[in-house]
Amino acid sequence: MESARRPLVSQLWVKNRRNEAVLDPERPALSWKELQPKSGRGLCLARVLHRARGLIGRLTEQYPSVCHSVPISEIIAVETEQKRYNSDTWQKFNHHAFTVHYAQRAQKHCWRCSAVTFWCKDEELCHQWIQAIKKLLELQTSRPKHLLVYINPYGGKQQGKQIYEQKVAPLFSLASITTDVIVTERANHAKDDLFEVNLEKYDGVISVGGDGMFSEVMHGLIGRMQKDSSIDQNNPSAPLAPCNLRIGIIPAGSTDCICYATVGINDPVTSALHIIIGDLQHMDVCSVHHNNTFLKYSVSLLGYGFYGDVLKDSEKNRWMGPTRYDFSGFKTFLSHHYYEGTVSFQQANQTLGSPRDKSTCQSGCYICKQSTQEVEEKRKRHHYNLEETEDDGDWKVIRGKFMAINAANMSCACPRSPKGLSPAAHLAAGTIDLILVRRCSRLNFLRHLVRHKNQDDQFDLAFVEVYRVKTFLFTPKHSENEDTDNKDVRKKHFNQICNGNHSSCGCNHVNSIWNCDGEALDHAAVEVRVHCQLIKLFARGIEEDSKP
């Protein structure tokens, strides 16, 4: 037992160079460093180069040689090396080599799978190393072994299947992860399936697609969990049962905001590596109700007005792929509609930070960590039927004319807006950033949109307000008849005078629609509340020290 804790130290060869390799179960990490050749053994070109390197190293303070170190948690697999090297090396080491595959940070939050081959003088040493690494890998209990994968072949550039097969499946197989793969045949296929399948045999569910596909998987898992726990999703104030299965996202959609905002990049290989090493990121979920009827859950953007109109228009042009959003975004900007309504909300406690904070939510965020403790205590109190102590403030009511009402449950960072609509929003603090963009000129609205792209303060504009809230209500001015949906309202008001394109009638749109993670909601009047850390992802949030 004692020997298992002691570091394994050996001289192994990497690319024909002698290295000292150390496997330290206490750190726990694998490290290797090139050893300097002993002096006085005659000069050869390699040694001259080596000395020159040493001199340069001294000058640049890197001497004697770079020490490579890989945490065990980032090792993907260890394999006995098969005969694929030139025969000289192969003969020299008598066929004994092993390869360690590990996750390596590349640029801008991008990870790649790297490999290093260690050559050993004898078979026993090689075997000892492989076994020691395998033993440490077995201790990584948060890693998934069996996954359920849903691929949306229809989203984004319709490349979901190819992306999975070419970039992700080989990595899963290298990491000995087994999978059941389902290529969806229709919308809601994944969601419906998740209500039926035996989830016990899986360690996670993977969504290959965009935010809409993620949304399906999430609805399936949350819905299934509530059904199994006899919780009525139509009750807006019911505390929801959290989902234990983690969801992984392989980005293959049009915006991929949920992936980008939780990993830092929309890259299928990076996401696959986060899944393999068993990362964990809690995430808040908003529930959206209309008249005590459950509509949908949201994790990224719930947008009324501008983003609702962009969505509505863009769905007509799906054939354009992701470019449809730019085309519809431009059209919607030109149409310049505003909408009247009332927003009521309860502001969240100041300890949960402010949307105007300069610091952002990062891997290991202390505000989210604090919420983890609170949410656990809250769930315990609920389990033992103890009284709740809510410390939220008074309701604030704002009636007005809005270009956009955006509820960001996370930063909503994505390639189109690298910092997102609310850069300081948290992934798991149990809050939503409610952004109200009041009626303004075209030029001012353009100034607001441009700030999604640049470094300027998004909220430092006279017609933009932002509040950190836990719950909010929106009632459009034209929703007196509570039972009518958007289509009915439009028909009722404009059937005789407006043909729908609004260029000839001179009217403004009556109601917009809600864009809920890229899916349209059927009602404009909504009640939204956030459920702190309801789901878990195979991600770790945005890392601070990524290579620039």
Q: Applying CB under 6 A, which of residues 109, 416, 447, 477 lies at the interface with ligand LXC25N3T?
A: 416
Q: Which of residues 164-193 bind ligand ADP (CB under 6 A)?
A: 184-187, 189
Kindly write out the interface string for residues 238-267 of this chain, putting x where it contacts ligand LXC25N3T by CB under 6 A and - elsewhere: ---------------xxxxx----------
By CB under 6 A, is residue 449 in contact with ligand LXC25N3T?
yes
* 3-state helix, strand and coil shares in percent for the chain, rounded to the nearest 5: 30, 30, 40
Minimum CB distance to Ca ion smaller for 202 or for 325: 325
Residues 88, 193, 211, 309: which is the catalytic one?
211
- The answer to whether 533 and 284 are in contact (CB under 8 A) is yes
Q: Which of 29, 113, 155, 405 binds ligand ADP (CB under 6 A)?
A: 155
Which position among 144, 160, 204, 212 is part of the footprint of Ca ion (CB under 5 A)? 212
Question: Considering only residues 113, 199, 301, 534, which one is a binding residue for ligand LXC25N3T as defined by CB under 6 A?
Answer: 301
**Angle between helical axes of 323-335 and 306-314 (0-180°, round to 10):** 130
The CA-atom distances, in angstroms, between 333 and each of 311, 326, 329, 414, 445 are 13, 10, 6, 20, 8
242: partner contacted, choices ligand ADP, Ca ion, ligand LXC25N3T, none (Cβ within 5-8 A by kind): none
Q: Is 348 helix (H, G, I), strand (E, B) or coil?
A: coil
Type of residue found at 287: S
Total length of the chain: 548
Can you list the positions of beta strands (E) in 152-212?
A: 178-183, 204-209
Residue matched to tokens 């037992």: 1
Query: Site for ligand LXC25N3T (CB under 6 A): which residue of 307, 445, 467, 538?
Result: 307
Among the listed residues 74, 211, 267, 279, the single contact to ligand LXC25N3T using CB under 6 A? 211
Is 211 one of the catalytic residues? yes
SS3 172: helix
Q: Residues 484 to 523: which contact Ca ion by CB under 5 A? A: 518
Q: Cα dist. 266→107, 159, 284, 402 in Å?
A: 13, 14, 20, 32
Contact map string, positions 209 to 228, toward ligand ADP, x by CB under 6 A = xxxxx--x------------
Distance of alpha carbon 110 from alpha carbon 130, whole angstroms? 28
Q: How far is CA 36 from CA 43, 85, 180, in A?
A: 14, 24, 49
Residues that bind ligand LXC25N3T (CB under 6 A): 210-212, 253-257, 300-301, 307, 310-311, 325, 329, 412, 414, 416-417, 421, 449-450, 452-453, 515, 517-518
Catalytically annotated residues: 211
**Interacting residue ranges for ligand ADP, rule: CB under 6 A:** 152-156, 184-187, 189, 209-213, 216, 253-255, 518-519
